[in-house]
A and B are shown apart, each in its own frame.
Chain A
Amino acid sequence: MEILKFITAGSVDDGKSTLIGRLLYDSESILADQLEALQASNRKNDDGTIDLAILTDGLKAEREQGITIDVAYKYFQTEKRKFIIADAPGHIQYTRNMVTGASNSNLAIILIDARKGVIEQTIRHSFLVSLLGLPQVVVAVNKMDMVDFSEERFNTIVKDYQQLAAKVGLQNVTYIPVSALKGDNIVNPSQNMGWYSGKSLLDHLETVEIAIDAAATHAYLPVQWVVRPQTDELHDYRGYAGRILSGSLRVNDKVTVLPSGFTSTVEHIDLLDQQFEEAGAGLSVTVRLKDDIDISRGDILVSSALKPQVSQLIEADLCWMDTRALDTSLTYLIQHNSKVTKCRIQEVLYKVNINTLDKEYEEEFKLNDIGRIIIKTAEPLVFDLYQNNKNSGGAIIIDSRSNVTVGALMLRAAVD
């Protein structure tokens, strides 16, 4: 069984909470004590049925202050798959939260209110999904019950969205007409939309292709920790512990250590008492090499045939996440996998108005701003372009005054 991680983009008004509640409820993922609490609540729909939006209700701190705190994670599973929902609330800090939730998702559900169609918020959400490079998108046209389950209305919205998808560069878009409130096409096929022959939302989530192509790219393993028992019998043991972020690694593979450039051969790949002939992307392993070379945390092992980028001057998309604006004269820290080094934003090339997608040329980079910049790092980064591999092409900026994560970077090109 596999795990599908997805994010839902939309506001409370689009019925996002109801949609998530409906998915959990109809797939029987709500336990009795939670259901009991739900039924005891005095929030009901107009027709007396349970308000499913309560299932995604927030913390006391949120209710008291009328705010919502970034991303909440929800878990459910069916016979076919396990699901992790990153539920990012739609308020003023939405950009930051959606970027965070999307960074770890394989799929995005973009909610559109059938009465309103494609609106400014849809543009914003779609741009962010494209920026973060999510491989699969579902456009859920919700509240179909409010437009008499009209096929014509649905088709108009699909046509409008296709233009937007082309503009922001989204592929693999699936369109599903739903009513989260009434349950149409969420888990069970709709009785009211005979004209729709596609899958229900859950059916789609259970079957959509999410496998990765390990052969398409080089093996890339950032060293997190060097295992050195230093006991009598394991005196010379050096195990390089890390997670393979792309490609696959085999015993006898030639590998290069970057940035130093030393080469060696893989002798063992193991984990406790498990030995691997070949280990693929996603696995955490401990690797031993034939030669005794100097490798420490932050170094990257790559298969020798294909090389990632190595650079100190990098063009990247930046999403700013802090209330204190970007200061181009300040030295920040950049964290990329297990490597932390100093950096400075050398130049702001442009910002993107995420409501209109227009480029704007101004220096000031504030909370929730997104744009293209050039970053200079104190030590070279060993990375892949984000569009090719988001695990080795993403990085964060840390403000060393507050130690807080203030920016998300999608590395786009080495500038050399």
Chain B
Amino acid sequence: MSKYNLDYLDELEAEAIYILREVAGQFEKPALLFSGGKDSITLVHLAMKAFRPGKFPFPLVHIDTGHNFQETIDYRDDMIKRIGEKLIVGYVQEDIDNGNVIEQKGKNASRNALQTVTLLNTIAKHQFDACIGGARRDEEKARAKERIFSVRDEFGQWDPKRQRPELWNIFNGKIHKGENVRVFPISNWTELDVWNYIRRENIPLPTIYFAHQRDCITRNGQLMAASEFLNMDSDDVIENRNVRFRTVGDMTCTAAVESYAFEIDDIINEISASKISERGARMDDKVSEAAMEDRKKGGYF
């Protein structure tokens, strides 16, 4: 072994494992935020690589909006059984019932914004000092400027102007009491990298990532899954379409794409040829040009 370089997937994997182990070493009460999406599923796989045959030094935390795809919840519960790790669930419904948040009204109502409150409450209740998330810098330009160790103040807020410089492979996780750090081990991965890694590692995924038939309506030019959670009226026409989802979030804000990608190879081909970015299928980012930036400042991951 003389002159050599790592293949890109090996390099990205090694970096992510390194970051996960730094979290384990530097924090008292970390947690891994698990959404049921492919990015957090990838994180769980990376955590197995980082800590097996030991247990994870953190629980998984799921913020349940109550408007989930059932496939995601089934996947989550199967996975927890398979890996034998602890799961903590924070329910948006509880915050609605307690009057901590007020449900949006109208046709485009979504619980996506409400989950920030539940997330912050869950962090406070369990006193988590670090929350690992699956965000990537290629998703959006506010993410492009975020650190791998991103310090949040006691209100969960991100201040883009007061970020710590991050040099070499050194991550400064020192915080004051009440603050916490969001950690993004796959910051440097792109959507295609995640898919190529899932294929290489043979990681199982929720079925909604693959093409299937589903009743949909078209809203603001986007295909939305028809469901009891979506406020529909007589203008909405339900059509059965061949679709899949590129990201998995709340049913009211995650748009489907027309697709015949039934296998992972099809998906990789589809993304390689695709001309629409992944977050282009998220209604929540379309609200304004600075939508993500504003939500992050408010405590969103």
A282-B10, A405-B165 known; A211+B3 contact, CB < 8 A? yes
A232, B149: Cα distance in complex, Å: 36
* Chain A binder among B46-54, B97-105, B122-130, B252-260: B46-54
In the complex, what residues of B have CB within 8 A of residue A32's CB?
A: 275-276
- Interface code A22-37, partner B: CB below 8 Å = 1, 0 otherwise? 0000000001111001
Cβ-based interface call for A241 (8 A): yes
Whether A403 pairs with B14 at a CB distance below 8 angstroms is no
Whether B167 pairs with A73 at a CB distance below 8 angstroms is no
Whether A283 pairs with B167 at a CB distance below 8 angstroms is no
Whether A61 pairs with B21 at a CB distance below 8 angstroms is no
Cβ-based interface call for A351 (8 A): no
Cβ-based interface call for A215 (8 A): yes
In the complex, what residues of A have CB within 8 A of residue B193's CB?
A: 82
Whether A73 pairs with B5 at a CB distance below 8 angstroms is no
Whether A280 pairs with B144 at a CB distance below 8 angstroms is no
Whether A215 pairs with B2 at a CB distance below 8 angstroms is yes
In the complex, what residues of A have CB within 8 A of residue B190's CB?
A: 75, 77
Whether A282 pairs with B138 at a CB distance below 8 angstroms is no
A388, B187: Cα distance in complex, Å: 28
In the complex, what residues of A have CB within 8 A of residue B204's CB?
A: none
A77-B190, A100-B166 known; A72+B276 contact, CB < 8 A? no
In the complex, what residues of B have CB within 8 A of residue A231's CB?
A: 53
Cβ-based interface call for B145 (8 A): yes
A59-B160, A228-B54, A391-B168 known; A243+B17 contact, CB < 8 A? yes
Whether A396 pairs with B1 at a CB distance below 8 angstroms is no
In the complex, what residues of A have CB within 8 A of residue B82's CB?
A: none
- Interface code A45-60, partner B: CB below 8 Å = 1, 0 otherwise? 0000000000001111
In the complex, what residues of B have CB within 8 A of residue A74's CB?
A: 144
A228-B54, A284-B14, A398-B174 known; A61+B160 contact, CB < 8 A? yes
- Output the least CB separation between B222 and chain A (Å): 11
- Which of chain B's residues 148-197 have a Cβ closer than 8 Å to chain A? 160-161, 163-170, 172, 174-176, 187-188, 190, 192-193
- Which of chain A's residues 76-125 have a Cβ closer than 8 Å to chain B? 77, 82, 84, 96-97, 99-100, 103-104
* Chain B binder among A148-156, A168-176, A179-187, A331-339: A331-339
In the complex, what residues of B have CB within 8 A of residue A227's CB?
A: 51-54
In the complex, what residues of A have CB within 8 A of residue B175's CB?
A: 403
Whether B24 pairs with A225 at a CB distance below 8 angstroms is yes
- Output the least CB separation between B138 and chain A (Å): 5
Whether B276 pairs with A284 at a CB distance below 8 angstroms is no
- Which of chain B's residues 1-27 have a Cβ closer than 8 Å to chain A? 1-8, 10-15, 17-18, 21-22, 24-25
Q: Which residue of B lies closest to A396 (CB)?
A: B170
Whether A73 pairs with B144 at a CB distance below 8 angstroms is yes
- Which of chain B's residues 213-243 have a Cβ closer than 8 Å to chain A? none
Whether B21 pairs with A229 at a CB distance below 8 angstroms is no
Whether A69 pairs with B145 at a CB distance below 8 angstroms is yes
Whether A280 pairs with B169 at a CB distance below 8 angstroms is no
In the complex, what residues of B have CB within 8 A of residue A73's CB?
A: 137, 144-145, 187-188
In the complex, what residues of B have CB within 8 A of residue A403's CB?
A: 172, 174-176
Whether A82 pairs with B280 at a CB distance below 8 angstroms is no
A282, B18: Cα distance in complex, Å: 10
Whether A33 pairs with B22 at a CB distance below 8 angstroms is no
In the complex, what residues of A have CB within 8 A of residue B8's CB?
A: 1-3, 82
Checking A57, A97, A214, A395 against B1 with a beta-carbon cut-off of 8 angstroms, the contacting residue is A214
Which residues of A approach B to under 8 Å, CB–CB?
1-3, 31-34, 37, 57-62, 67, 69-75, 77, 82, 84, 96-97, 99-100, 103-104, 210-215, 224-225, 227-229, 231, 234, 237, 239, 241-243, 245, 248, 271-272, 278, 280, 282-284, 297, 321, 333, 335-338, 390-391, 394-396, 398, 400, 403-405, 408
- Extra contacts besides A31-B277, A103-B168, A391-B168 (4): CB < 8 Å: A214-B1, A225-B24, A390-B168, A396-B170
3 A-B pairs with least C-beta separation: A32-B275, A60-B290, A284-B17
Which residues of B approach A to under 8 Å, CB–CB?
1-8, 10-15, 17-18, 21-22, 24-25, 48-55, 57, 137-138, 141-142, 144-145, 160-161, 163-170, 172, 174-176, 187-188, 190, 192-193, 274-277, 280, 289-290, 293-294
